Amino acid sequence: MSDPLVDYLRQCCLRVVGQRPGCGFFIAPQLVVTCAHVVGRDCEMGTLIELQERDAAAAPPGQGELVGLLPDEDVALLKTSISHAAYAPISAEVRVEHGTLIGLGFTAADKFDQFTAEYEGPTEYLGASGRREVKFKGGQVEPGYSGGPLLNLNTCRVLGVVRTTRDKNEPEGGRAVEVPVVERLLQVCNLSLPAIDPKWTDAEAKQREGSALELGQLTLGQLRAALQQPNTERIEELSRSLGKNQNAIR
């Protein structure tokens, strides 16, 4: 059985043909995030980077204009002239229990692939930069995954941008740029993200439907409503009425 959330996330991805071709994904209708080393760490603002849709039948975005770059942190932002129908929410929230991760990327010119991994923890770099990355294990990260999304199936949000592998020939996992780095670049560029795409919320609701039934026979409609406006009061209310702890409700 297919995973509706992963299926939707695949629609957010495209191939970024920069200095080292890799992946990118929409975090807003006209905004793509990828790795700096994919587009080129020395690229100038305004450089146009070729973008290729994974579905040849889809309207191609053509090119993306480089509007943000942090070479040391290895993240870049591209703006497209055409709005894209699908975009993914990003979140710095990480929950380690059942921390299954899904990564997507273009491992060859004609192959769009995915790997499954497990959240392991942060990697901290000593020195003035104070840089941190997400470390994960158990997935085989081949060349071409760089710039792709790393989805946390527990939180149903993208927690990072895949940056590097620990072994391209073995399932040893890799590292990803943390979402706070992306958020910092957005602030530098004076850019903001839209509300979560309702289609993403629907996909999330379908994925959580089975769990919701275990939490007191919530209907799919009730779950959608809760996901659209999650708040502490609603979580506490469900916790009391269903007799479940608040972490389980979340």
The yes-or-no verdict on residue 222 having pLDDT over 70 is no
pLDDT at 196 over 90: yes
Residue 95 has pLDDT above 80, yes or no: no
Give the whole-number percent of the chain exceeding pLDDT 90: 53
Question: How far is the C-alpha of 120 from the C-alpha of 135, rounded, in Å?
Answer: 6
If phi > 0 it is left, if psi is from -120 to 50 it is alpha, else beta; for residue 175 that is beta
The mean pLDDT value for 183-210 works out to 90
Residue 214: the pLDDT is 47
pLDDT > 60? residue 59: no
